[in-house]
Amino acid sequence: QVQLVESGGGVVQPGRSLRLSCTASGFTFSSYGLYWVRQAPGKGLEWVAIISYDGSDKYYADSVKGRFTISRDNSRNTLYLQMNSLRLEDTALYYCARESSAHWFDPWGQGTLVTVSS
């Protein structure tokens, strides 16, 4: 079955960097676009970034543009999110999700928690 497993979260000080990973299985990874979505504690969902199936197209939310970079390694079935210059407001559970054939978020991983704190 399709599975997405995020890792790399943790506690980090403001201004520092962190790289998240999302390892996929159960489907042809190189055929699908992928997303990062985050959810601050007790809050709603916020789309963060998207990358096309081959990595040629990337889009970012304004809140992370210039600080976060989405990338993928199709040989390793892995999606990445490089997060630089982290802010307190970046504290959230970060989910990766696959782009469905109809271009929606489906399915989602279980998330990895990033806490930005001094």
**Residues engaged in binding another protein (CB under 8 A):** 44-47, 50, 59, 61-62, 95, 100, 102-111
Give least dist CB 95 to another protein, A. 6
Q: CA of 8: how far to CAs of 20, 57, 113, 115, in Å?
A: 5, 24, 8, 11
DSSP 51-105: E-TTSS-EEE-TTTTTTEEEEEETTTTEEEEEE-S--GGG-EEEEEEEEPTTSSE
Whose tokens are 């999700």? That residue is: 97
CB nearer another protein, residue 16 or residue 65:
65
Q: CA of 103: how far to CAs of 26, 35, 79, 107, in Å?
A: 18, 11, 17, 11
Give least dist CB 59 to another protein, A. 6
Give least dist CB 44 to another protein, A. 5
Give least dist CB 50 to another protein, A. 8
CB nearer another protein, residue 21 or residue 46:
46
CB nearer another protein, residue 7 or residue 17:
7
CB nearer another protein, residue 47 or residue 53:
47
